[in-house]
Structure 1
Amino acid sequence: MTRSVYVTGIDRGDGRQVVELGIMELLTRQTGRVGVYRPLLHDGPDRLFELLKARYRLDQDPSTAFGMEYQEASAILAEKGTDELVSQLVDRYHRAARAYEVMLVLGTDYAATSLPDELALNARLANELGAVVIPVVGGTRQTAESVRAETRNAYRAYESLGCEVVAMVVNRVAAEDRETIAERLAARLPVPCYVLPDDKSLAAPTVAQITRELGGEVLLGDEAGLARDALDFVFGGAHLPNFLNALTPGCLVVTPGDRSDLVVGALAAHTSGTPPIAGVLLTLNERPAPHILTMAARLAPGTPVVSVAGNSFPTAAELFSLQSRLNSATPRKLETALGLFERHVATGELRDLLSVARSERVTPMMFEHELLEQARSERRRVVLPEGTEERVLRAADVVLRRGVCDLTLLGDTQAVRKKAADLGVDISGAEIVDPAVSPLRERFAEYYAKARAHKGMTVELANDVVTDVNYFGTLMVQEGLADGMVSGSVHSTAATIRPAFEIIKTRPDAAIVSSVFFMCLADKVLVYGDCAVNPDPDAEQLADIAVQSAATAAAFGVEPRIAMLSYSTGTSGSGADVDKVRKATEIVRARHPELLIEGPIQYDAAVDADVAATKLPDSEVAGRATVLIFPDLNTGNNTYKAVQRSAGAVAVGPVLQGLRKPVNDLSRGALVQDIVTTVAITAIQAQAQSRPQAR
């Protein structure tokens, strides 16, 4: 029977989307077959379903995700009663649920529905669906005592109606009250209660939303600028010095269009980062002269300047009534919401309460979720040398919002902050270090000169070398000021890993540095090695790559079954290339008898059970291999790219292995999500290497 989780509320304005998104995140970590059902829908598209479908790659037909519109429900209720309404909604749920292991059910929203006693209707539906229930209580503008009372009453209401309430969530409480509310509810409720503070940025409209709602015209600005959140509104009317003192980070400046001095002043403040603003909204349908707009475009490229027809007072009234909602067009808000949920909800405890059995299938998204959760479990610091690169800054924003790890960004401090402000990303939680002026420069130069003295390195020369961001970042890792490094989005592989070879060097138990790719197929994860570093390893090196790759696989939850690949399977072929693979297999078996390994073996026999049954029927690995070791770089690199492109696999890597401390290289075509994933992997490697058995 399909397991279902029913998220409901007691009134509108509880910010329940944050909880629904967080629970969807938990469910998709356990199984790749999650469906969504909203019993009652307002007229128009369901933005949350569209968001969930896009983000979690749901294959669900939208027509199966909804019961009926509220208007139809009201008519059925009036004509035939509650039993008939519930019966139809339950029937439609079961038609959808057949295709899924778990269903996330989104309760009614209490927003102008004209339905009597919505709480009782939600409870009845949850019971009829056999769903566990998570009620959400909103705490906006309430005292701590009223929030506690309302939460207890909500629990009693759903429990008295026969619901299996597994947890309560209180959302949008004042940050200063969060701990007190959580402590007192923990003593008063028989189920866990998770308390989330209000986050101003989640309700803040974006500049694009403001432009759309007010019918504005974009005079300047790009897509990134329009995506910025308007965290505050500052209305321009004062003289410039007083006006500049009133600016706040992330504010939208609202001023009559004929105040060119305020427009230029606000954009200059943004450029200097004191403070970065969301944009400028011009009222009265007035526009600055063309030469002022030209100056503005050069002063703060990408920062939006928008013109609206109304005067300042009615514009202000409209602005203060706007609130953002989570949707696929606001990706930063999604990461903020998930970060908020994961910081304040005991996700492991809640996952167990939901009793969702983990699927044997491992989808790419499940694997990526697992990486983020594992990285978050023991916080580490990762240094990103390419601190002014757009993709790196966007990835840093995601990492910080999700609480994956701590970050250090390298680069000119002002340049990094300005670039982040122009992109509208929040890196306030990261440390920024400029190698050229850092007090660490002298210390690192002395260390590097001593380490490379045998190569003729002097302190004077080293003083220049260590200002290179990759050398500086590597030295931070070596000296324990960071736990790992990720670079390569704009640097070559050689520029990224050469400092690691010189400074960090290989572990005592590793003969060479090698790499693996995690190949995320539709239903499983395979580990490919080595596809990025060693051109033509000999038998000893190939054996070392196999052992390291097995250890890496195990560290990331992939049970290692090693296939040593060749163009021949078993004893059917001969020649130098096959003999190398055969010898490497024998070395691994002799040194690590605990490892499951087969070789030489062809790729099809390694992964296809039917082929394996013919070629190697008694093998514990054939047909079930998870770690595939290629005989040389030419074969490995081409194979991983062929599988990636032809099978639609997600290739995560290369992940370097064998170094004393983790340094990882990015593809220069890496996407933002690739960088986020590689940062998480690096943090996990640092966790593993900090444990005694990893030394």
Structure 2
Amino acid sequence: MTRSVYVTGIDRGDGRQVVELGVMELLTRQVDRVGVFRPLVHDGPDRLFELLRARYRLSQDPATVYGIGYGEASALQAEQGTDELVSALVDRFHLVARDYDVVLVLGTDFADTQFPDELALNARLANEFGASVIPVVGGRAQSAQSVLAETRNAFRAYDSLGCDVLAMVTNRVAREDRDRIAERLGDRLPVPCWVVPDEPALSAPTVSQIAHTLGARVILGDDSGLARDALDFVFGGAMLPNLLAALTPGCLVITPGDRADLVIGSLAAHSAGTPPIAGVLLTLDEVPSDAILTLAARLAPGTPVLAVPGNSFPTAARLFSLEGKLNAATPRKAETALGLFERYVDTAALNKRVSAPSSDRVTPMMFEHKLLEQARSDLRRVVLPEGTEPRVLHAAEVLLRRGVCELTLLGPVEQIRKKAADLGIDLGDSQLIDPATSELRDSFAERYAALRAHKGVTVELAYDVVSDVNYFGTLMVQEGLADGMVSGSVHSTAATIRPGFEIIKTKPDASIVSSVFFMCLADKVLVYGDCAVNPDPNAEQLADIALQAASTAAQFGVEPRIAMLSYSTGTSGSGADVDKVREATELARARRPDLMIEGPIQYDAAVEPTVAATKLPGSQVAGQASVLIFPDLNTGNNTYKAVQRSAGAIAVGPVLQGLRKPVNDLSRGALVQDIVNTVAITAIQAQTPAPQSPAPQSPSPQSPSEKATAQ
């Protein structure tokens, strides 16, 4: 059983931080407690560990992460020999290993060190730690033949030194050589070898990093603009038409500060999206007048304008030697790195080879990881009607970089492009549609008019209705042009889901549309329903909510043990409210005798084993319920919010259930990660339909006017 993974290399410049981040992502999907250990460390901040600590919420004391500084280690090896150095590092490693289920070891970086055989030292440490090894070979600016030879030699080197080599990763190879190298390595090594192409956005410095390195003054720009990647450098000295022809997407324009025409021209090009640039760097310590800067700020709000005292030549020399780094201040680079790792590395195969001990606990982070992984396994297209909303655009970038799903964004296309450019967001191959001008508007109007003819809707009226982004997005889902829809960050719940009631309608076996929240507690995930849609369901509707929630829970890996909640447990109470829950329990059991269902039951008896042992001994559900069904919206909505705020739970939802195709709503206070999670859930719902319950005896679908919504 592997309890630690040692990521190492053979030389500097291999970009192995991508692999280290990817392996950490993999480990945290299945293990609750993951430690980090770096045997040898340079002076100064450890950017990668700070990224890991921030991203994965590590509670590990930074003092335990590091073994020995390079200078001290070199002196110890020279004075007392390699055995003493290794012994000291092994002792420090075990101080970490004893407190964690698995440890990710970050090998030496082959940069500015004084060890005569650094590869052998890494191999020795891996063996002494009992760690399996993933060697990383850098292939940047090398021929395919050279990369092939280095990868085979690296495997032989670590294998001959007795290492348990889990897999090889060949990184930063030319994109045009990637497939050929992967094919040739596939049958020449006894372990998997994954080949990852070079990604310019990872090595590109951010504008903020450039400003810090050059000691530049930030004349204009906000945090979002400073986070942009500078993918290219374009030096402005010619006339404006020649400069505009030379601009490339994501470039940083370097120009003398007295060339106001080039500054305004570059920012105007950015504002028009032809192309979006990273920013402008002014040299010679010259800054345009206040009037020019005011115009610049209005042309491209948030776009950085920096100023440095030197001239263009020494500035260029420093820029071309600057390389971007993964750190806690560059979360977008981390998303790019993970997307690259997950696309080119067979994470399922690597996961089996790592064989880290699986945890019985399900933390919020593990649940979120699983959502993204499950959505990525079978790509679906999700339409986002709120295409100009910054949070939606940031979420779209994360989803695209991680390869979670395909996206369609709705809204005025030029506004979407401009907003994305201002935020420094690359929407890649996303589909952008303006409902007001789309060629689909006519056919959608005819379709909607036919669906709502019984309500007196004409084609002329429908033509206006379908220009609404939520109606247009819902029709895309209905017509198979998208697999699901997520909206609500700037729209009310009613505006988001009413089109679904009118157009997509309920499943044949569902009497109503309902909702659940996934409540991610510290060590488990519970499913709460209905907390957002139905104010006072009757017994039959309550049974339907329970069975829908069971299917939803099972679809997302939560074994359904259903508690039908009430203010009394078992036969201890009576009254209309308790009788409703008792009747709903009987109906649900009759329709799905295969499910574990208990009710009526109080919340404490449902989730706390000691209380369950007293109030309802012998129950399969009491004390270990995973799906909790509330008797009405008032109870459910207040309870989920109380648990969310008081227990620090992460509430993912509301997830709608009962519609023929998935449409999901966001809270208007949704964070970017909330949007990412909801889109992933929607994509999963669209993959394989959840197991269906037998049709209810007397379905009585509600109209939208009979429903209430709450968040």
Q: Is the partner of 1:667 in helix, strand or coil?
A: coil
Query: Counterpart of 1:557?
Result: 557
Distance 2:626 2:566 in 1: 16
Quick one: structure 1 residues 297 and 611, their matched pair in 2 at CA, closer, same or farther if it must change by over 3 Å? same
Corresponding residue for residue 25 of structure 2: 25
Q: 1: CA distance between counterparts of 2:606 and 2:158?
A: 53
1:114 maps onto 2:122 in alignment: no
Deviation at residue 689 of structure 1 after TM alignment:
2.5
Q: Describe the superposition over 1:311-345 as per-residue Cα deviations: whole angstroms up to 9, x where unpaired.
A: 00000001101101101110110000000000000
- Normalising by the residue count of structure 1, what TM-score does the alignment of the two structures yield? 0.99
For 2:686 and 2:415, how far apart are their aligned partners in 1? Answer: 29
Q: What is the rounded CA distance, in whole Å, between the counterparts of 1:586 and 1:99 in structure 2? A: 48
Tell me if the contact between 2:497 and 2:665 (Cα under 8 Å) persists in the aligned partners. yes
Query: For the Cα contact (< 8 Å) 1:258–1:288, is it kept in 2?
Result: yes
1:691, distance to aligned residue in structure 2 (A): 9.3
1:610 is paired with a residue whose SS is: helix
How far has the Cα of 1:429 moved from its partner?
2.0
- 2:207 counterpart of 1:207: yes
Does residue 139 in structure 1 map to residue 139 in structure 2? yes
Letter in 2 for 1:677: N
Preserved CA contact (<8 Å) 2:566 2:602: yes
1:688/1:694 contact within 8 Å kept: no
Two-structure CA RMSD over aligned residues (Å) = 1.2
- Comparing 466-475 with 587-596, which one deviates more in the overlay? 587-596
Match status 1:507 vs 2:485: no
Q: Deviations over 1:383-422 (max 9, x none)?
A: 0000000000000000000000000000111000000000
Rounded Cα–Cα distance in structure 2 between residues aligned with 1:370 and 1:620: 27
In the other structure, the counterpart of 1:681 is 681
Contact 2:2 2:356 in 1 (8 A): no
What is the alpha-carbon distance in structure 1 between the residues aligned to residue 426 and residue 689 of structure 2? 30
Q: Which amino acid aligns with 2:646?
A: S
Does the Cα contact within 8 Å between 2:410 and 2:432 map onto a contact in 1?
A: yes
Tell me by how many angstroms 1:99 deviates: 1.0
Tell me the residue number matched to 1:567. 567
Map residues 633-644 of structure 1 onto 2, 5 A cutoff.
633-644=633-644
Do the aligned partners of 1:395 and 1:672 also contact (CA within 8 Å) in 2?
yes
State the 1:688 CA deviation. Answer: 1.9
CA contact (8 A) 2:663 2:682 kept: yes
Q: Does the aligned pair in 2 maintain the 1:661–1:689 contact within 8 Å?
A: no
Contact 1:2 1:101 in 2 (8 A): no
Name the aligned partner's letter for residue 488 of structure 1: G
Separation (CA, whole Å) in 2 of partners of 1:658 and 1:690: 10
Shift of 1:690: 9.2
Assess if the C-alpha contact under 8 Å between 1:519 and 1:526 holds in 2.
yes
Match of 2:701 in 1: none
Q: Report the equivalent of 2:370.
A: 370
In 2, Cα distance between equivalents of 1:693 and 1:493: 27
Q: Percent identity?
A: 77
Q: Post-superposition, which runs of at least 4 consecutive aligned residues in structure 1 deviate over 4 A?
A: 690-695
CA contact under 8 A between 1:254 and 1:281: conserved in structure 2? yes
Residue 47 of structure 1, CA deviation: 1.1
Residue 383 of structure 1: aligned partner: 383
Q: Report if the CA contact (8 A) 1:2-1:103 is conserved.
A: no
**1:226 aligned residue:** 226
Q: Which aligned pairs between 1:465-504 and structure 2 lie closer than 5 A? A: 465-504=465-504
Aligned residue in 2 for 1:173: 173
Q: How many Å separate the matches in 1 of 2:468 and 2:449?
A: 15
Structure 1 pair 690–179 and aligned structure 2 pair: CA distance change class (3 A): farther
Matches of 2:2 and 2:45, distance apart in 1: 26
Quote the Cα distance in structure 2 between the aligned partners of 1:19 and 1:234: 31
User: What amino acid sits opposite 1:582 in the alignment?
Assistant: R
- Aligned twin of 1:283: 283
CA distance in 2, matches of 1:203, 1:584: 59
Which digits, 9 at most, give the CA deviation of each residue in 1:55-79, with x for residues without a partner?
0111101111111111111111011
**Equivalent pair of 1:2/1:100 in contact (CA under 8 Å):** no
- Residue 2 of structure 1 and its aligned partner are, at CA, apart by 7.3
The corresponding residue for 2:159 is 159
Maintained 8 Å contact 2:551/2:690: no
Cα distance in 1 for partners of 2:691, 2:405 equals 18
For residues 541-564 of structure 1, what are the alpha-carbon distances to aligned partners after superposition, in whole Å with 9 as ceiling and x for unaligned? Answer: 000000000000000000000000
1:289 CA drift (Å): 1.1
CA offset digits 1:565-604 (Å, max 9, x no partner): 1110111111111111111001111111000010010111
Instruction: Provide the secondary structure at the position in 2 that maps to 1:508.
Output: coil
User: Which residue number in structure 2 is paired with residue 5 of structure 1?
Assistant: 5
Does the CA-based 8 Å contact 2:547-2:693 persist in structure 1?
A: no
Aligned residues, how many? 695
Deviation at 1:306, TM superposition (A): 0.6
Matched to 2:189, the amino acid is L
Q: Distance in 2 between matches of 1:280 and 1:641?
A: 46
Whether the 8 Å contact between 2:228 and 2:278 is mirrored in structure 1 is yes
Q: Is the 8 A contact 2:235 2:253 kept in 1?
A: yes
Structure 2 equivalent of residue 306 of structure 1: 306
Determine if contact 1:413/1:432 at 8 Å carries over to the other structure: yes
SS of the equivalent of 2:583 reads helix
For the residues of structure 2 that align with 1:556 and 1:667, how far apart are their CA atoms? Answer: 21
Per the TM alignment, residue 694 of structure 1 is displaced from its structure 2 partner at its CA by 11
Aligned partner letter, 1:54:
A
Rounded to whole Å, the distance in 2 between the matches of 1:237 and 1:513 is 63
Following the alignment from structure 1 to structure 2, what is the Cα–Cα distance between the partners of residues 628 and 642?
A: 15
Structure 1 contact 536–631 (Cα < 8 Å) conserved: yes
- Do the aligned partners of residues 136 and 98 (structure 1) sit closer, same or farther apart at CA in structure 2, a change above 3 Å counting? same
| Matched residue type, 1:609 | P
Q: Does structure 1 residue 360 correspond to structure 2 residue 360?
A: yes
1:611 equivalenced with 2:611 (yes/no): yes
Whole-angstrom CA distance in 1 between matches of 2:54 and 2:257: 39
How far off is 1:156 after superposition? 0.2
Q: Give the corresponding residue for 1:256.
A: 256
Instruction: Report the AA paired with residue 323 of structure 1.
Output: E
Paired position in structure 2 for 1:548: 548
- CA distance in 1: counterparts of 2:277 and 2:473, whole angstroms: 31
Q: What CA distance in whole angstroms lies between the structure 2 residues aligned with 1:350 and 1:375?
A: 19
3-state DSSP of counterpart to 2:187 = helix
- 1:48 equivalent in structure 2: 48
1:404 is aligned to 2:407: no
Q: Which runs of 5+ in 2 are unaligned?
A: 696-711
